Structure 1
Amino acid sequence: MKTLIVMLVLAGVAHADDKKCVVEKPVVAKPASVKAPPCHRASAKLQKTIATELTKAYHPERGGKPVVKFPCDGLGSTIYEIVLETGHGHGGSLDLWRARRRADGKYDVRGIIYRGSSMVHKAAAVPHEQASGIVELPELDRARAAMTATLREVVPPAKPGEGFGMSSSFSSRDSHTVLRFVDHEGRVVERRYTGYASSSAQDTYLGLELAQRALAPIWQLAPSKAAADHDDRAFFAASFNAAVPHFGTDFYWWVMERYVDLARFLGTPAVIGGLVTRLTVTKPGDRSQTDARADAVDALAKITGWDARAGGKSVEDAAKAYLAACK
């Protein structure tokens, strides 16, 4: 009997050990309506205003003229949720905002504001604040129209023997913007841009910049020092998991770093799956990958309560342990 009890206890310990790191499945959004919404467009007056602003900001590359069009935006009349992400590569910023429509037509806003050390790994400093408030969005139609407007350069046909030159512009200003609208029936329209300001990508980011400015009541809310609560963490998990598929894309490295750094403070079991993707350094000596791995290990230790670095183990060995256990 004693032998049986010991065996059962040992089996229990082994079972508990297997559960050091359990990946929680992300919350799945409810299916959107398959019914096509009525065509929603901004008023002719608003379209003209936006087109004028986009045309003024546009830099023709081939000597043509920009043409702006406003298709149906694919959403119903009522916007239930707005998600906005903004950041700049220089300065260490990443702001995450979510606004949800209330019964009175105003929007409940929640924000996570990251102000970390750009391109420098620090193990202890708390790099974020939270914000919340209730706002009105009088320029929501402007944001919808600007985000979904199409912008392209139209070049007139060349005359016989005539050629066209090329010109381009490029800036060292690197930015990150994601804007997602969800209507009252679950339909989603999203636009995103991460990279440098340049003439080659202006058809993507110029409209996003106008839309972002139209949503100023959201991102102008002042941050507070209040501790993050359950809703903050749930919002962060949703944003983190939506970002994970983009972690390896061009120009996204600094956004990835800041998300992983934030996971050290706001992470829950729902982000473990995404953190695991940062545990393997594919380019030895790459500072970004190395720092992200260290932050991912730190985040996993805090989320699971199991520090694989204990006993003087290296970050690299700890990463291997989490890779083996976090399934």
Structure 2
Amino acid sequence: MNLLKINPQSFHYYKITPIHSLLSSPKTPNSSLLHYDFFFSSSSSSSNYSQISFSKFNFRNPRTNVSNKEGSMWSNEVESFDLFRDYEDLATDGTVYNKTLRLVECSMFAAVAGLAYFLSNSLAIENYFGCFFALPIVISSMRWGLSAGRKTMVATAMLLLTLSGPVKASTYLLMHGLVGLAMGSLWRLGTNWGLSIAVCTVVRALGAIGYVVISSFLIRENILALITINIHASLTYLLTAIGVNTVPSMNAIYTIFGTLLLLNCGFFVFLLHILYALFFTRLGMKDSLTLPRWLKKAI
């Protein structure tokens, strides 16, 4: 007896649903799935049968729209991606985190510098702590770039303008702020100490002249003229004491005054370079500094 022999009369049903009937039938749900049902069986006298069934072959119609379920799944995936991107921006190496950290540090440095300068002027100890007033601007420039140092300087000046008025704010800006900005910018760019000391000396000298001009305007007295007159009198007395009967010209007086001013500012800036180099070395920022050989050996 052949069990694999198929009797044609043993087919129960064979149904194919055409496409146009599925699309035109009002009872058919609005979906893009076409159903094809195949069923046939074979039986024999021994009541043994084999049954093969094929059902629900799914074919997607490209002309139909996306279902609501698929649309909701897509929207959930988009929302999850946006949320993941937001968390990624808040990471320690993200852009938003770095900008926030830079803003907070610049604000803290500006507040510390402004408060230190205000208390030093109020307690008359400015001469003892004057070398530290430019340090917050240098740190901001070294850590976050030139724009951060400029913002710290401007924020400190605005804070002092609110606390002490325009005179103290302009004094800090001319005597300490510009020097700190110049030093931090040059150190950030990796220049050698010769160029850095020369530029910072010129900036400090110009700031000192600006401070004298502002003070002259406030007290209604020409302080520069008084300084040159005193230098002329002192030099004339010195030449007379050593037996030289001559009167120095005003050009010589101006040259001597400029030389003394540059020497004073140069020594001050040189000491600032050494002090800040030691401070940054203790903070662990030695690799970002361009130090001379003799200072590297000493450190």
TM-score range, shorter chain: under 0.3
| Structure with more of its chain in strand, by fraction | 1
Instruction: Give the structure-1-normalised TM-score.
Output: 0.19
Higher-Rg structure is: 2
